[in-house]
């Protein structure tokens, strides 16, 4: 049996953290290289959009399956196999682009196939890593571990996107694809050295029995998420709020050039500002620890505040004001994201945690492609009146955030706390904060 972790920066967590940091850097460089290569080779923004959509769909459809697999099989092996397969796929793309640079249609087809493959693998990878984190660090350090994970993601975005264009110009797409492939292989090797509590099949089952067990696992995950006090309402309202944040990002290039009337360079500056704010929010969540109820009230305030900022974004007269609002909105969103992730990890029993995260991924991500498509259609129907779209979206987000604040069970879930020594979380029926009290030093949510 694995020994209970006693410190945050233990061997197993560090193996996971540094491996993910390297692979995330590679992924960001790859994302820039892929976009620039498609632009140079085809000049088609439609193809770029389709490629992003195709890569997102498997994650939406397969998240529940990925969660069920994460609860039934070795999470460590899921991580290892996922990064290994993505690394090999990237190496194949690099080799094809290097040797067959003139075969644009073949290379585009390969990129679409790889996008589907990596999207599918990611659907299994994300629930497994989310379910594994609480088993790798002390219970009272889970929020810090989540904050560090988000920190590594933001650092990879800053450095990967910041250097991606220059590296593309100097080294070319094949070499950057090669770097991404090697980064995934490195992460896979690092994960193979991790020791964590293993979840393995209890016995050898036939294919039919495996399928029946899988269906039962899915039903159990749905049943838990549906019956958990406050979880059902919070998840669905959050998914709808996320739906109305999409236009702010999708329509941002039109807002920058047509509404603000400034150079497209500001598009990148504003995106980085959202990321910078998010990074500050992650750090704040990891450093500042509040008791359950003050923490909950701060989260609800941030939800309303972030929604208001999205609503007024379109009426800013100068890009520097937009940058300031983006940093503040990103900060609020970063704080909310870390704490929602933590409360779900801590309030969900380990044996069902993967299924719950898989289901949440499906619900949260399922509306995103629809929002992306509708954003463009509605913008054109309104003669690209971006400030109006931002205002309506932000107003709806404010109303939904207030609705969350008015639901007692949602507030109780947001204020959830556990004792530092309790590693199992509440029973499947769900414990309220009153049933599982904790001292003021409990992790913030």
What are the two backbone dihedrals, phi and then psi, of residue 164, each rounded to the nearest 5 degrees? Answer: -60, -45
Handedness of CA 415, 129, 180, 190 (dihedral sign): positive
What are the two backbone dihedrals, phi and then psi, of residue 344, each rounded to the nearest 5 degrees? Answer: -70, -40
Query: Is residue 419 a contact partner of residue 347, using CB atoms and an 8 Å limit?
Result: no
pLDDT digits (tens, 9 = 90+) for 353-394: 777 776 666 666 677 777 777 777 787 788 878 899 899 999
User: What is the structure's pLDDT at 218?
Assistant: 66
How much of the chain, in percent, has pLDDT values that exceed 90? 14
User: What is the structure's pLDDT at 325?
Assistant: 94
DSSP letters for 21-47: HHHHHHHHHHHHHHHHHHHHHH--HHH
Helices (H), 73-103: 75-99
Task: Determine the Cα angle at 223 with ends 218 and 228, to 5°.
Answer: 130
* Euclidean distance between CA atoms 136 and 85, whole angstroms: 24
292, pLDDT greater than 50: yes
Q: State the pLDDT confidence band at 161, using cuts at 50, 70 and 90.
A: low
- Which candidate, 108, 118, 110, 106, places its Cα nearest to that of 55? 118
* Euclidean distance between CA atoms 55 and 122, whole angstroms: 10
pLDDT digits (tens, 9 = 90+) for 206-260: 546 656 766 776 677 777 777 777 777 777 787 788 888 878 877 776 787 778 8
User: What is the structure's pLDDT at 186?
Assistant: 92
Query: Is residue 76 a contact partner of residue 191, using CB atoms and an 8 Å limit?
Result: yes
**Structural domains of the chain, with CATH:** 8-193 (1.20.1250.20), 229-445 (1.20.1250.20)
User: What is the structure's pLDDT at 304?
Assistant: 93
Report the 10 Å Cβ neighbour count for 51.
19
* Euclidean distance between CA atoms 100 and 28, whole angstroms: 24
CA dist 290 to 134, 268, 438, Å? Answer: 20, 34, 11
* Euclidean distance between CA atoms 222 and 227, whole angstroms: 8
* Euclidean distance between CA atoms 286 and 292, whole angstroms: 15
Any residues with CB less than 8 A from the CB of 426 and at least 6 apart, and which? 347, 349, 435, 436
């Amino acid at each position: 049996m694995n020994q209970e972790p006693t410190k945050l920066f233990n061997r197993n967590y560090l193996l996971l953290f540094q491996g993910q940091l390297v692979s995330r850097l590679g992924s960001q460089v790859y994302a820039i290289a892929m976009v620039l290569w498609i632009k140079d080779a085809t000049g088609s923004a439609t193809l770029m959009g389709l490629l992003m959509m195709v890569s997102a769909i498997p994650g939406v459809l397969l998240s529940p399956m990925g969660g069920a697999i994460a609860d039934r099989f070795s999470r460590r092996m899921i991580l290892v196999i996922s990064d290994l397969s993505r690394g090999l796929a990237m190496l194949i793309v690099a080799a094809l682009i290097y040797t067959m640079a003139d075969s644009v249609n073949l290379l585009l087809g390969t990129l679409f196939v790889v996008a589907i493959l990596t999207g599918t693998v990611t659907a299994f990878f994300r629930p497994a890593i989310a379910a594994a984190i609480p088993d790798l660090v002390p219970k009272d350090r889970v929020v810090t571990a989540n904050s560090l994970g988000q920190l590594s993601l933001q650092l990879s975005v800053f450095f990967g996107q910041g250097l991606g264009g220059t590296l593309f110009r100097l080294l070319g797409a094949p070499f950057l694809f090669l770097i991404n492939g090697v980064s995934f292989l490195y992460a896979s090797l690092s994960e193979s050295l991790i020791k964590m509590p293993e979840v393995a099949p209890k016995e050898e089952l036939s294919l039919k029995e495996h399928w029946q067990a899988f269906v039962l696992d899915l039903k159990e995950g749905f049943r838990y998420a549906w019956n958990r006090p406050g979880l059902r309402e919070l998840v669905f309202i959050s998914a709808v709020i996320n739906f109305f944040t999409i236009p702010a990002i999708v329509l941002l290039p039109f807002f920058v050039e047509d509404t603000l009337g400034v150079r497209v360079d500001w598009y990148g500056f504003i995106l980085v500002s959202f990321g910078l704010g998010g990074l500050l929010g992650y750090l704040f969540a990891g450093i500042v620890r509040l008791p359950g109820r003050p923490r909950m009230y701060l989260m609800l305030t941030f939800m309303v505040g972030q929604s208001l900022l999205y609503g007024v974004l379109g009426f800013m007269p100068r890009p520097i004001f937009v940058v300031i609002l983006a940093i503040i909105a990103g900060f609020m969103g970063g704080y909310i994201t870390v704490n929602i992730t933590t409360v779900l990890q801590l309030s969900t029993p380990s044996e069902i945690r993967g299924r719950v995260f898989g289901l949440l991924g499906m619900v949260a991500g399922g509306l995103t492609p629809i929002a992306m498509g509708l954003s463009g259609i509605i913008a054109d129907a309104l003669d690209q009146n971006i400030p109006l779209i931002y205002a309506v979206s932000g107003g709806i987000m404010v109303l939904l955030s207030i609705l969350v604040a008015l639901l007692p069970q949602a507030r109780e879930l947001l204020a959830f706390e556990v004792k530092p020594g309790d590693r199992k979380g509440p029973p499947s029926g769900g414990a309220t904060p009153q049933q599982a009290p904790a001292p003021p030093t409990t992790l913030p949510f």
